[in-house]
Structure 1
């Protein structure tokens, strides 16, 4: 039951991040190929890096090509829907990003623990899964990635990884641990967006 929940949550995370990639591509007026590329790297970039690092090869989307079909279908449907919508609310991309971050963080941490890796490594893999795809998307789009700015983004992912690994260490049921970590990540990220919370900026200027 848990494995099915994680699997479908992973697919949902791919859909959410793929949509965020489409929206960024749309703002930059990319052609359909560019849209699909940006949607793909956003959706599977972090998970690909995670699997390569922990030795889970072939990586998940090669083992299960459903991910590729889901991403392609999401990109096409999103392009059609966005054209008909004419105007997309400004909060849509950050909101989708927040949900994707929460989903991918706990899935990344869960997969690392399933390979019997230390908790600290699971936290790092959760953050990698959650933020790396968005970083690649932003770099390809010529933007400074959110994770490298003062935004509370990677911090929310770290919190989610800590909540998940800590809950598991305390003997909490895995399903509850996933829920706790996802809620924690999402709550911190949405709170940062709503109240404009941010980390201190490193500045060498006097």
Structure 2
């Protein structure tokens, strides 16, 4: 049950996140749908490839595609005054998508009896893969590669789930809230990872 809930939450959040970026870049309606769908499903597709699942697994998610399209359509039709603060919306939906898909990816790897290292990688790729593809298509530096704390929270979710110290849907929902809050706090408080620059010759 929790896996399905997190799949739906992540799909909606990342579909809207992709739509926001597309609208900011002044893409037309078709571009908004493409970027929204790529953001919603890119992470899962990358994860499936790396853990050996066939690409066709993606096409069995008819309901998720319908949910993503509906979310993009509703958001596109929102009155302008409700989405004028797109930057705040974008970071909020991105945090929700990161947390939901990181947990979903980790649960998927645990279900396949993967080692803890694979669980962490699955969490990071599922949580941030769609955002990476979105940012690359929008010609932006991917969030996960910047110095701000982003992918670390997905890795933390994967580690906690991989250790299997606690179980149950309630624990997963609490973890979802914590990871989402940490990502939002890291954005608001401008938490940064160590950065070292090399001077160009």
If the length of structure 1 is used for normalisation, what is the TM-score? Answer: 0.90
2-structure distance, mates of 1:194, 1:84? 23
Q: 1:31-57: per-residue Cα shift (whole Å, max 9, x none)?
A: 111101100111010011112222333
Select the structure with the greater relative contact order (CA < 8 A; seq sep ≥ 6): 2
Ranges in structure 1 where 5+ consecutive residues have no aligned partner: none
Asked if the contact 1:61–1:67 (Cα under 8 Å) also holds between the matched residues in 2, the reply is no
Asked if the contact 2:11–2:64 (Cα under 8 Å) also holds between the matched residues in 1, the reply is yes
Query: Which is further off, 51-60 or 113-122?
Result: 51-60
Deviation at 1:87, TM superposition (A): 1.8
2:173 aligned residue: 179
Ranges in structure 2 where 5+ consecutive residues have no aligned partner: none
Task: State how many pairs are aligned.
Answer: 200
Of 157, 170, 174, the match for 1:160: 157
Deviation at 1:164, TM superposition (A): 1.6
Of 182, 188, 199, the match for 1:194: 188
2-structure distance, mates of 1:5, 1:82? 33
3-state SS of 1:151 partner: coil
2-structure distance, mates of 1:24, 1:193? 17
CA distance 1:137–1:82, change in 2 (3 Å): farther
2:138 aligned residue: 141
If the length of structure 2 is used for normalisation, what is the TM-score? Answer: 0.92
**Cα RMSD over matched residues?**
1.8
